[in-house]
Amino acid sequence: MAAAGESNAGPMRRAVFLDRDGVLNRVTYRAGKAESPLSLEELQLMPGVKAGLRLLRGAGFLLIGVTNQPDVVRGNVRREVVEAINNRLAAELGLDEILTCWHDDNDQCACRKPKPGLLLAAVRTHRIALAESYIVGDRWRDIEAGQAAGCRTVWLRAPYAEREPLRPADFVTGRFEDAARWILRESETPA
């Protein structure tokens, strides 16, 4: 018989959901606006991300990217290029998966953050316990998606203008390694 919190398929797992642009990789500035890289040549990792992810992986967290990529539907970049960027990030950083929303706001899909659809899809695939999981993002959309899904939230403050989430994040920092260390401390604290 399965113990509480488990099924016959095994225990639920903890995850750290990670926004892509501005968290895993640097944004690219076009006309003064922070945007996604549009090529592999523009792709640069954020400082401290490899070290922080190693800490999280070592603590047993699944590492899952969750990213809105509306530039495809807007005609600014081909889907194959975004997939190549995702694949390189997953390989270089040891991510378990990167889930992508290809829609724009007008599409009213369930997967575009701030809606929690990408996180919920990962739950079904990876048997994730959302209450024991975290999301790290640099935009209000990431924080609100995590809150809607029932995760703890980390806002990685960026130098570009970004509106505040409706409810404050659980932790705010400007450095990924600080975010990783906070998650490790919080995950060890008894409820």
What is d(CA 130, CA 153) in angstroms, rounded to the nearest whole number? 11
Residue 43 identity:
L
Tokens 């070290």, located at residue: 51
Q: Yes or no: say if 71 and 77 are a contact pair by the CB < 8 Å rule.
A: yes
What are residue 10's DSSP bridge partners?
7
The answer to whether 142 is a known catalytic residue is no
Q: Yes or no: say if 21 and 113 are a contact pair by the CB < 8 Å rule.
A: no
Q: Among residues 21, 71, 138, 142, which one is catalytic?
A: 21
Q: Among residues 19, 71, 138, 170, which one is catalytic?
A: 19
The answer to whether 170 is a known catalytic residue is no
Does residue 23 sit in helix, strand or coil?
coil
DSSP state of 46: P
Residues taking part in catalysis? 19, 21
